[in-house]
């Protein structure tokens, strides 16, 4: 599977609770935090729901 570096670039403050929960489920705790993830269909779906808050780079 492909790996991706995902960085949170916008805050979850003022967003719907589902989007906040998705950021938490992905493992984000703070702004500008980067995480490397395997892009499984489940992770890709979560990233797609909050893509407006993230920056995605394929590795």
Mean pLDDT of the chain: 96
Torsions phi, psi of 5, nearest 5? -100, 120
What digits encode the pLDDT tens for the residues 14-26?
A: 999 999 999 999 9
Q: What percent of the chain has pLDDT over 70?
A: 100
The answer, yes or no, to whether residue 58 has pLDDT greater than 90, is: yes
What digits encode the pLDDT tens for the residues 27-40?
A: 999 999 999 999 99
Helix (H) or strand (E) holding 7: strand 3-8
Asked: is 3-58 a CATH 3.30.70.2740 domain? The reply is no
The answer, yes or no, to whether residue 1 has pLDDT greater than 90, is: no
The domain segmentation of the chain, as residue ranges, is: 3-58
């Amino acid at each position: 599977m492909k790996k991706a570096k995902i960085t949170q670039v916008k805050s979850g403050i003022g967003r719907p609770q589902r989007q906040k929960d998705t950021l938490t489920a992905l493992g984000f705790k703070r702004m500008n935090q980067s995480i490397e993830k395997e892009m499984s269909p489940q992770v890709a779906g979560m990233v797609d729901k909050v893509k407006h808050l993230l920056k995605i780079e394929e590795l």
